[in-house]
Amino acid sequence: MYSFVDKDGRLHFTNVPADPRYREVPGYDALRSAAAHGRYGKFIMDAAERYRLDPELIRAIIKVESSFNPYAVSEKGAMGLMQLMPETAKEMEVETPFEAKENIMGGSRYLRKMLNLFDGDLRLGLAAYNAGPNKVMEKGAIPKIPETEQYVKKVMQEYDRIRVNALARQ
């Protein structure tokens, strides 16, 4: 959630900040994320167990991909919590991409496929999740695509943040 106060003293809110005056509402993201973690926790844990993934990694991807919005749609057409492209959703047998459980299972299945393809290399697996496996195979590394480089960096940062918070709660 973002807000700003205009020159007339009116307060404006949005979840899609098109105006540079918008600033993130302090604490809102943490509250929403905490609620979403609880709401999708069972689906995340089931997917993590089924596809041998760290649930905190799945959470990090969901946070970066959709900020836990199950109805998110990207400019390129990626859908749902884990932002599955239509072809990927079909390949992963996801019939209803805006249904949280199905999206998390399909996205996790695809992530496991990418990690297997790149011998468990998390950074390459994330790059392939974002840019597609062919671009990563062509380079043998994270492709020099700014969006993909930023994506891998953001997911790794979020993954580290979530793991640190999880350890602090124990």
Which CATH architecture best describes the domain 40-169? Orthogonal Bundle (1.10)
- Residues involved in catalysis: 65
Segment 104-117 shows an average pLDDT of 98
Contact between residue 119 and residue 57 where contact means Cβ atoms under 8 Å apart: no
Instruction: Give the pLDDT score at 30.
Output: 55
Question: Above 90 in pLDDT, residue 147?
Answer: yes
Please report, for the chain, the start and end positions of each structural domain, with discontinuous segments joined by +: 40-169
Kindly indicate the confidence band of residue 14, based on its pLDDT and cuts at 50, 70 and 90.
confident
Q: What is the pLDDT of residue 29?
A: 59
For residue 84, the model assigns a pLDDT of: 97
Q: Measure the CA angle with vertex 60, ends 43 and 21; round to 5°.
A: 120
How much is the pTM?
Answer: 0.78
